[in-house]
Amino acid sequence: MITASPVREHPHLRVNLETAAALVEPSVRAAVDRLPDQEKAIAGYQFGWWDREGVPTPGNGGKGIRPALVLLSTAAARAAIEQAIGAAVSIELVHNFSLLHDDIMDGDIKRRSRPSAWLVYGKKAALLTGDALLVLAFDVLAESSGHRSVAAIQLLTQTLLELAEGQSMDLAFEGRDDVEILECLTMAGRKTASLTSYACAIGPCIAGVDPVTIRHLQGFGYHLGLAFQLMDDVIGIWGDEERAGKPVGSDLAARKKTLPVVAALTSTGSARDRLIDLYNRATPFSADDVRSAALLVEQLGGRAWAEAEMQRQVGIAVSHLRDASLEPAMADELATLVQRIIRRDR
Amino acid sequence: MITASPVREHPHLRVNLETAAALVEPSVRAAVDRLPDQEKAIAGYQFGWWDREGVPTPGNGGKGIRPALVLLSTAAARAAIEQAIGAAVSIELVHNFSLLHDDIMDGDIKRRSRPSAWLVYGKKAALLTGDALLVLAFDVLAESSGHRSVAAIQLLTQTLLELAEGQSMDLAFEGRDDVEILECLTMAGRKTASLTSYACAIGPCIAGVDPVTIRHLQGFGYHLGLAFQLMDDVIGIWGDEERAGKPVGSDLAARKKTLPVVAALTSTGSARDRLIDLYNRATPFSADDVRSAALLVEQLGGRAWAEAEMQRQVGIAVSHLRDASLEPAMADELATLVQRIIRRDR
Q: Which of A15, A18, A150, A136 is nearest to A84 (CA)?
A: A15
- To the nearest 10 degrees (0 to 180), the angle between helices B211-238 and B65-76 is 150
Summarised one tens digit per residue, pLDDT across range A157-180 is 999 999 999 988 988 888 787 899
In a domain, B251, yes or no: yes
- To the nearest 10 degrees (0 to 180), the angle between helices B211-238 and B302-323 is 160
**Three-state DSSP class for residue A67:** helix
Query: Between chains, do A150 and B154 touch, taking CB under 8 Å as contact?
Result: no
- Burial group, residue B273, by CB count within 10 angstroms (0-12, 13-18, 19+): exposed
DSSP code of residue A180:
-
- What is the domain range of residue B246? 17-343
Cβ atoms within 10 Å, residue A251: 24
Query: Between chains, do B128 and A168 touch, taking CB under 8 Å as contact?
Result: yes
Q: Taking 70 as the threshold, does the pLDDT of residue A29 lie above it?
A: yes
**Three-state DSSP class for residue B19:** helix
Q: Which residues of B touch A168 (CB under 8 A)?
A: 36, 38-39, 125, 128
Query: Between chains, do A161 and B128 touch, taking CB under 8 Å as contact?
Result: no
B17 to chain A, minimum CA–CA distance in Å?
Answer: 31
pLDDT band at A230 (very low <50, low <70, confident <90, very high): very high
Q: Which of A241-250, A279-288, B296-305 has the highest mean pLDDT?
A: B296-305
Query: Between chains, do B131 and A164 touch, taking CB under 8 Å as contact?
Result: yes
Query: Between chains, do B150 and A154 touch, taking CB under 8 Å as contact?
Result: no
In a domain, A7, yes or no: no
**In chain A, alpha helices (H):** 17-32, 37-47, 65-76, 85-106, 117-121, 123-144, 149-173, 181-188, 194-207, 211-238, 241-244, 250-253, 259-265, 270-280, 287-299, 302-323, 328-343
Strand partners, A56: A50
Minimal-distance CA residue of chain B relative to A161: B132
CB B125, CB B42: distance < 8 Å = yes
Cα distance between residue B31 and residue B40, in whole Å: 10
Query: Between chains, do A127 and B150 touch, taking CB under 8 Å as contact?
Result: no
Q: Which residues of B touch A150 (CB under 8 A)?
A: 142-143, 145-146, 149
Q: Which residues of A touch B171 (CB under 8 A)?
A: 38, 124-125, 128
Summarised one tens digit per residue, pLDDT across range B120-165 is 999 999 999 999 999 999 999 999 998 899 999 999 999 999 999 9
A254 — contact with chain B (CB < 8 Å)?
no
Q: Which residues of B touch A138 (CB under 8 A)?
A: 138, 153, 156-157
Cα distance between residue A28 and residue A9, in whole Å: 27
Q: Which residues of A touch B135 (CB under 8 A)?
A: 134, 157, 160-161, 164
Q: Which residues of chain B have pLDDT under 70?
A: 1-14, 59-62, 244-245, 344-346
- The backbone torsions φ and ψ at residue B111, rounded to the nearest 5 degrees and listed phi first, read -150, 125
Query: Between chains, do A150 and B134 touch, taking CB under 8 Å as contact?
Result: no
Q: Please spell the DSSP secondary structure of B154-194, one letter per residue.
A: HHHHHHHHHHHHHHHHHHHHTT-S---HHHHHHHHIIIIIH
Q: Say which of B101, B136, B168 has its CB closest to residue A39.
A: B168
**Three-state DSSP class for residue B328:** helix
Q: Say which of B127, B128, B160 has its CB closest to residue A135.
A: B160
Q: Say which of A35, A105, A150 has its CB closest to residue B149.
A: A150
Q: Which of B312, B130, B56 is nearest to A105 (CA)?
A: B130
Q: Taking 80 as the threshold, does the pLDDT of residue A10 lie above it?
A: no
Q: Which residues of A touch B134 (CB under 8 A)?
A: 131, 134-135
B326: alpha, beta or left? (left if phi > 0; alpha if psi -120 to 50): beta
Summarised one tens digit per residue, pLDDT across range B154-213 is 999 999 999 999 988 988 888 787 899 999 999 999 999 999 999 999 999 999 999 999
CB B125, CB A140: distance < 8 Å = no
According to the model, what pLDDT value does residue B101 have? 93
According to the model, what pLDDT value does residue A60 have? 56
Query: Between chains, do B160 and A36 touch, taking CB under 8 Å as contact?
Result: no
Query: Between chains, do A157 and B136 touch, taking CB under 8 Å as contact?
Result: yes
- Burial group, residue B229, by CB count within 10 angstroms (0-12, 13-18, 19+): buried
Max CA distance (Å), chain B: 60
In a domain, B7, yes or no: no
In a domain, A14, yes or no: no
According to the model, what pLDDT value does residue B158 have? 96
In a domain, B6, yes or no: no
Cα distance between residue B148 and residue B142, in whole Å: 9
**In chain B, alpha helices (H):** 17-32, 37-47, 65-76, 85-106, 117-121, 123-144, 149-173, 181-188, 194-207, 211-238, 241-244, 250-253, 259-265, 270-280, 287-299, 302-323, 328-343
Q: Which residues of B touch A145 (CB under 8 A)?
A: 150
B138 — contact with chain A (CB < 8 Å)?
yes
Cα distance between residue B248 and residue B3, in whole Å: 31
B249: alpha, beta or left? (left if phi > 0; alpha if psi -120 to 50): left
User: What's chain A's length in residues?
Assistant: 346
B15 — contact with chain A (CB < 8 Å)?
no
A115 to chain B, minimum CA–CA distance in Å?
Answer: 20
According to the model, what pLDDT value does residue B9 have? 39
In a domain, A77, yes or no: yes
Q: Which of A186, A305, A157 is nearest to A237 (CA)?
A: A305
Q: Say which of A123, A143, A160 has its CB closest to residue B135.
A: A160
A308 — contact with chain B (CB < 8 Å)?
no
Minimal-distance CA residue of chain B relative to A190: B36
In a domain, A148, yes or no: yes
- Burial group, residue B154, by CB count within 10 angstroms (0-12, 13-18, 19+): middle
When the pLDDT of each residue in chain A is averaged and rounded to a whole number, the result is 90
Q: Which residues of A touch B143 (CB under 8 A)?
A: 150, 154
Q: Which of B192, B93, B105 is nearest to B144 (CA)?
A: B93
According to the model, what pLDDT value does residue A88 have? 97
Summarised one tens digit per residue, pLDDT across range A70-79 is 999 999 999 9
In a domain, A3, yes or no: no
Strand partners, B110: B115
According to the model, what pLDDT value does residue A158 have? 96
Cα distance between residue A297 and residue A261, in whole Å: 6
How many CB pairs lie under 8 A apart between chains A and B? 129
Q: Taking 70 as the threshold, does the pLDDT of residue A85 lie above it?
A: yes
CB B315, CB B339: distance < 8 Å = no
Max CA distance (Å), chain A: 60
Cα distance between residue A83 and residue A146, in whole Å: 9
According to the model, what pLDDT value does residue A61 have? 58
CB B204, CB B196: distance < 8 Å = no
A167 — contact with chain B (CB < 8 Å)?
yes
Q: Which residues of B touch A147 (CB under 8 A)?
A: 147
Tell me how many domains chain A contains.
Answer: 1
Half-sphere exposure of residue B330: CA atoms within 13 angstroms, side-chain side: 27
CB B90, CB B202: distance < 8 Å = yes
CB A258, CB A233: distance < 8 Å = yes
B32 to chain A, minimum CA–CA distance in Å?
Answer: 11
Query: Between chains, do A168 and B136 touch, taking CB under 8 Å as contact?
Result: no
Mean pLDDT over A26-39 rounds to 95
CB B106, CB B173: distance < 8 Å = no
Q: Which residues of B touch A105 (CB under 8 A)?
A: 123-124, 127-128
CATH number at residue B144: 1.10.600.10
A132 — contact with chain B (CB < 8 Å)?
yes
